[in-house]
């Protein structure tokens, strides 16, 4: 399936072109890249056994380390002091004074599970040299946990059980058929497995661990997307989402004993997930509502539970405590990073635990994200998230960037991005397009880019540029394109296939040679590989002709305008050679190109010093080639 909650729906805003040309620009304080990355990022938020502390990870040290937040006073107490690799919290280990976390090596994505001990030492629980492991949940009695690992076969993930204190893996399911392992019952009786058919269709199964029997849950003759959403607290039901017979995904409750199905929730947006609290007192339902998160909480009687609204808040994650008396909320806005809150169901008190926006930055100097829509070349309506520089007016025109998300099948969403806010704060309008093929807008829209990547979806980006040109405060001749991963591919496709459209391109670890990328997918993508080939093309077949034709590397001679490329040396998805070759090709053609490689990053940058260096260099590049310099002519 393709990659990838508001308290009230966001109004759709269409920008007017009727700016008052005599209006003076608003005075906005500009901030440095260092100030933007003095923001903190705080994630996780797991409850201690006495529910007086939360386990989190934060990059306040420059990379992610482990901390505890004391709920009584809000103090954040450091638990780890890593200076090389980021540590991400998994959970407290019940009945011990240990903490479990995950980490890889330099962004290689071979995540291991570790124990952090009180003396600061660590124990690698999954020490295989090329092993990739993932926590899959505690048993009901909390005396053991389940995890997935590809240590036996790099292509497939088996399921293991490890007893607390013994720390020895015991295989409970050997995955010989290449299924995706999606969920496991805490009672240890069922696994939820899926099999990818295409990126928009899969099959869903339940595997009875005791009787070794596999039963398909997806219905014959009714193709669609299915997503495991976990087992009920009492172990009697299984929740899943599906879009079978519908445009949007809805939530289904499946009775494990009888096989009866019941629609648990449906709306005119995708249901993203559901989760029952420890003893089933509450059911959480997350909805992707027009690029923003919406959260519903229902009690055991099916009644909605009210909780305080956070102004402009976008609820990104929730964790109800084991006693079901408290709830941790992770909430962000387009003008502020995610912060953690604690809510008490009995007292109705909502307590803010973090303030992650750098206090040197005034949020009033930042741009609020707005949802806009525009028509593409064929009349198809394209949704986008728009950030307008506060100082832009018809008399003070701003340069602009079309921003393309990763994927294929990702989604630009309302939320905080230090990088985007940095660019907007320095005078660049940013239009984050959700081109056809993006998730969140129904399965018809989702499938529209299948087998035409670099064509119709690229036109959506070009028509995003035309939308920007319709705004009288945008400098129509100074519009560039930027994106990461698949968005990096779209950037290079624009520069190679539509070389007169964008004045500059910023490619952040983007695919430039689909033949190599699709042949070299990581081994642990094996269960997804055929689905990826079904959408993009099989490089080992006649599809290779089209894949060659849409790969920017083989058309680099067409590129005429400046490009910047950023790459992680340890990226297992888009290999560094992809960026090396496109950069070399552009340099051979005397195209202005700047290239930044980080030796300690993978597919996405997590170290603050690297983000400051890379994204600061992006602004310097844009100021030189888009804002200040005249258009490059050949």
**Residues labelled catalytic:** 485, 571, 603
The secondary structure element, H or E, covering residue 272 is strand 270-276
d(CA 467, CA 474): 10
Copy the structure tokens of residue 181.
């392992």
Residue pair 175/224 in contact (Cβ under 8 Å)? The answer is no
d(CA 137, CA 535): 32
Buried b (16+ CB within 10 A) or exposed e, 141-172: eeebbbbbbbbbbbebbbbbbbebeeeebeee
d(CA 537, CA 545): 10
Residue pair 87/65 in contact (Cβ under 8 Å)? The answer is yes
d(CA 83, CA 62): 8
Site of tokens 């960037």: 401
The upper half-sphere exposure of residue 528, i.e. CA atoms within 13 Å in the direction of its Cβ, equals: 16
d(CA 433, CA 482): 11
d(CA 506, CA 454): 16
Of residues 326, 270, 333, 258, the one with CA closest to residue 297: 326
Mapping DSSP to helix (H, G, I), strand (E, B) and coil, where does residue 348 land?
A: coil
Q: C-alpha dihedral over 589, 591, 592, 593, to 10 degrees?
A: -70
Residue pair 497/558 in contact (Cβ under 8 Å)? The answer is yes
Rounded to the nearest angstrom, the gap between the alpha carbon of residue 276 and the centroid of all alpha carbons in its chain is 23
DSSP-derived secondary structure letter, 305: P
How do beta strands 180-184 and 190-198 pair?
antiparallel
Backbone phi and psi for residue 136, each to the nearest 5 degrees, phi listed first: -125, 5
How far apart, in Å, do the first and last CA atoms of the chain sit?
43
Complete edge-to-edge strand list for the sheet that includes strand 213-216: 180-184, 190-198, 201-208, 213-216
Q: Where are the beta strands (DSSP E) in 376-438?
A: 381-387, 398-404, 429-433
Residue pair 430/420 in contact (Cβ under 8 Å)? The answer is yes
Conformation bin of residue 281: beta by default, left when phi > 0, alpha when psi is -120 to 50: alpha
Query: Across-strand partners of 530?
Result: none
| Max Cα distance, the chain (Å) | 77
Q: C-alpha dihedral over 487, 150, 539, 543, to 10 degrees?
A: -80
Helices 418-425 & 608-622 angle (0-180, nearest 10): 30
Site of tokens 């399936």: 1
């Amino acid at each position: 399936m393709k990659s990838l909650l508001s308290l009230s729906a966001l109004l759709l805003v269409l920008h007017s072109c009727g700016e008052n040309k005599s209006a003076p620009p608003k005075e906005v304080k500009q901030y440095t890249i260092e100030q933007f990355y003095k923001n903190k990022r705080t994630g996780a938020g797991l409850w201690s056994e006495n529910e007086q502390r939360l386990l989190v990870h934060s990059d306040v040290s420059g990379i992610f380390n482990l901390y505890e937040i004391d709920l009584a006073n809000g103090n954040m107490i450091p638990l780890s002091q890593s200076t090389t690799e980021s540590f991400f919290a998994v959970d407290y280990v019940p009945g011990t004074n240990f903490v479990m976390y995950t980490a890889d090596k330099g962004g290689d994505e071979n995540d291991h599970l570790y124990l952090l001990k009180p003396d600061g030492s660590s124990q690698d629980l999954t020490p295989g040299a090329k092993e990739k492991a993932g926590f899959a949940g505690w048993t009901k009695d909390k005396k053991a946990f389940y995890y997935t690992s590809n240590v036996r076969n790099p292509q497939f993930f088996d399921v293991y059980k490890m007893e607390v204190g013994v720390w020895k893996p015991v295989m409970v399911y050997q995955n010989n058929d290449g299924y995706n392992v999606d969920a496991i019952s805490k009672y240890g009786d069922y696994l939820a497995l899926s099999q990818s058919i295409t990126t928009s269709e899969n099959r869903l199964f339940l595997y009875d661990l005791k009787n070794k029997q596999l039963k398909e849950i997806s219905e014959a003759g009714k193709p669609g997307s299915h997503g495991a959403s976990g087992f009920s607290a009492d172990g009697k039901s299984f929740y899943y989402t599906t879009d079978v017979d519908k445009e949007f995904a809805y939530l289904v409750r499946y009775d494990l004993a009888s096989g009866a199905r019941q629609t648990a929730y449906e709306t005119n947006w995708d249901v993203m997930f559901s989760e029952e609290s420890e003893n089933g007192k509450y059911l959480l339902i997350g909805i992707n509502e027009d690029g923003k998160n919406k959260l519903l909480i229902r009690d055991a009687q099916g009644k909605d539970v009210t909780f305080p609204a956070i102004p402009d808040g976008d609820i990104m994650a929730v964790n109800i405590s084991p006693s079901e008396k408290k709830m941790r909320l992770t909430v962000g806005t387009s003008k502020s990073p995610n912060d953690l809150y604690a809510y008490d169901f009995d007292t109705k008190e909502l307590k803010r635990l973090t303030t992650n926006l750098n206090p040197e930055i005034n949020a009033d100097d930042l741009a609020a994200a707005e949802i806009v829509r525009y028509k593409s070349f064929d009349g198809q309506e394209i949704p986008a998230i728009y950030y307008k520089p506060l100082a832009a007016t018809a008399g003070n025109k701003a340069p602009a960037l079309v921003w393309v998300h990763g994927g294929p099948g990702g989604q630009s969403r309302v939320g905080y991005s230090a990088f985007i806010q940095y660019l907007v704060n320095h005078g660049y309008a940013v239009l984050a397009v959700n081109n056809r093929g993006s998730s969140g807008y129904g399965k018809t829209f989702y499938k529209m880019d299948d087998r035409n990547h670099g064509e119709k979806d690229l036109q959506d980006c070009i028509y995003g540029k035309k939308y920007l040109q319709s705004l009288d405060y945008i400098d129509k001749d100074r519009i560039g394109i930027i994106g990461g991963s698949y968005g990096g591919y779209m950037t290079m496709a624009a520069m190679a296939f539509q070389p007169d459209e964008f004045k500059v391109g910023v490619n952040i670890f983007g695919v430039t040679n689909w033949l190599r990328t699709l042949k070299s997918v990581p081994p642990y993508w094996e269960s997804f590989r055929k689905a990826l080939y079904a959408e993009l093309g099989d490089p080992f077949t006649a599809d290779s002709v089209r894949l060659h034709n849409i790969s920017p590397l083989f058309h680099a001679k067409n590129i005429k305008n400046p490009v910047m490329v950023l790459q992680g040396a340890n990226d297992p998805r888009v290999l560094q050679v992809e960026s090396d070759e496109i950069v070399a090709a552009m340099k051979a053609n005397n195209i202005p190109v700047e290239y930044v490689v980080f030796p300690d990053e993978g597919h996405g940058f997590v170290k603050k010093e690297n983000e400051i260096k890379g994204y600061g260099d992006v602004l310097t590049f844009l100021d030189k080639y888009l804002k200040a310099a005249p258009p490059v002519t050949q």
